[in-house]
A = this chain, B = another copy of it.
């Protein structure tokens, strides 16, 4: 079932690394040693490549990237807001998810093909991708420093996965035996997720390779591309048509191009993005799958939200490599569609449960919001690429909105349970029958379609790379938390930037900027769109004119220990939705810094009725905030005056004429949205009915 080469190269690699701790120790000498024993030109190419210190999407050589993200390894996130989440990710989420994956047969699917398991195939067609995304998460973890246990588990898994590869290069545990006849058939391509699985295999393989230098999984992925895919599918007369089905292959092929330098991968990605029209898809397929027609003919976000976001990622990657202006034009139009019509206040996207899809413009229901964790992650991944391509702060604002709210909500505080949906209002009784919460709980340790949990894990593991970018004129600061950057400017001058802050709870950020030797460059520091009044000092002197929603360009000759002090406006803000958002009519929500707040029933006054709609906020009243170290691992909570209506005064579904309401004054308590559903089951709402007074 496997090539002799695979087993040889794996054995040699294992021999070569035996006893070595990977990470700091598996440096270039080990790689060279490894390359020397490999007898395959592809592997040699990889092994001699610069595998270390690459960003998750490596734009270091991308000609149309205005900004270039730093590697995960360049930033150490220190104790602060994200450190606990990231520790939980490593110590709890990733290990417990592996146990779940094993228990649900995701590795047995591979072992079965090697005669090492009698278990039948388990899980949906895309189940292989669960393993690949988990390996990718481990890859990003290892890029921040070795974790021997995780590395060993991933190493073993990779060994078994690769052993299941067929001599043809084909590797997919679903389309085998009786299902092999469906392999890459045209209509199966649209739903079978074979290229989706391959894409995740490549992404996982690249992250692991960039962490360890171990090319085993990456070589397997390349064999499937080189030996199975490229010869048989594509524009050639003797080739069969190809369609992504669930976009993902595009960005992974382009990352493979970035990893190997081989143009053929970029070209295939471009061909898939162009849409193979030899076998036309139905209009519904074209909408739902967000592929199959030229990407540049798209005018709006529609269809399956994760598919659309991943397609946009691939298309942006394609633009970053080719500079094709038609792509940029389309991407910018879609970006406007996103932020003007389709974006939830928590950064989530994909309003509809039916088809896990974008809705109409302004269709943003709250209780029925789908807001899949994967879609919010896709949104962040896309906007990170758009940020690199355009340098526009709007994309960083979207990243921050999604990251702190609709993504961060996806993983429980203890890291062991996950939201598939991220609704903006919730009733645990009503939700018991939901298709994606059959347990009656919004957070679950496992979903049979378990795309979201490892997606969250890879996102938190790769987070350091989202903090900074370099640019020809200097460096960009996108996110704020206690952290230290150790990287280099485009000039080659080493630079360290340390951030000291209690962000997002407090608005002061102290940055120490230390180039190895003095150099004139621009420090572009982001002023979030929500910070109406910001002051920035350089070495104690107010500097520049900070504008909300822009980068403040601080150009000077920077020298070691230069100090930048930023004070953001942390006033709690009342947020109104556009009147065209029918679901938010008569409602407001509260935002403080990047954090969106919500009400949970269990925090409210004793006399509060079971359903929130009987509670009304007083718009003109003042909100108070306080940090509560013992609440939800430490959060700022809000209090806002309002009234409670006796629900008995309005039991009819419809009432005519002046409705008498009996109300009493109360104070609403709000917590950060991301922390909801971490205590007892409780109703929740983000958007709160209000009265003007």
Contacts and interface: CB of A to CB of B under 8 A. Distances in A.
Interface of A: 283-284, 287, 302, 339-341, 343, 345, 352-354, 359-363, 365-368, 425, 427, 430-431, 433, 435, 438, 530, 532, 573-583, 585-587, 591, 611, 613-614, 645, 647, 650-657, 659, 689
A611 B363 CA distance: 13
A579 B655 contact: no
A613 B359 contact: no
A591 B360 contact: no
Contact of A425 (B365, B574, B582): B582
Contacts of A587: 585-586
Nearest to A615: B579
A584 to B, nearest CB: 9
Contact of A354 (B353, B366, B577, B591): B353
A586 B438 CA distance: 33
A613 B585 CA distance: 8
Nearest to A365: B365
A583 B586 contact: no
A689 B579 contact: yes
Of A362, A438, A645, chain B has the most CB atoms within 10 Å of the CB of A362
A266 B427 CA distance: 40
Question: Top 8 A-B pairs ranked by shortest CB distance?
Answer: A586-B586, A360-B430, A354-B354, A579-B613, A573-B656, A585-B586, A580-B613, A585-B689
Of A284, A530, A582, A659, chain B has the most CB atoms within 10 Å of the CB of A582
Given A287-B433, A340-B653, A532-B657, 15 more contacts: A352-B354, A353-B354, A354-B354, A361-B430, A363-B430, A425-B582, A530-B656, A573-B657, A574-B656, A577-B653, A578-B651, A578-B652, A579-B650, A580-B611, A586-B587
A93 B587 CA distance: 44
B430 A582 contact: no
B368 A363 contact: yes
A133 to B, nearest CB: 26
Contact of A359 (B368, B580, B647, B650): B368
A642 to B, nearest CB: 13
Contacts of A361: 430
Of A340, A368, A438, chain B has the most CB atoms within 10 Å of the CB of A368
Nearest to A688: B585
Contacts of A651: 340, 578
B363 A654 contact: no
Contacts of A532: 656-657
A341 B354 CA distance: 22
Contacts of A425: 582
A580 B431 contact: no
A575 B368 contact: no
A582 B582 contact: no
Contacts of A652: 340, 578
A564 to B, nearest CB: 26
Contacts of A645: 579
A366 B433 contact: no
17 contacts: A283-B438, A341-B653, A345-B654, A352-B354, A360-B431, A362-B653, A363-B368, A532-B657, A573-B656, A575-B654, A579-B613, A580-B611, A580-B647, A582-B583, A582-B613, A585-B613, A586-B587
Contact of A656 (B340, B433, B591, B650): B591
Contacts of A611: 362, 580
Contacts of A340: 651-653
Contact of A365 (B287, B368, B530, B574): B368
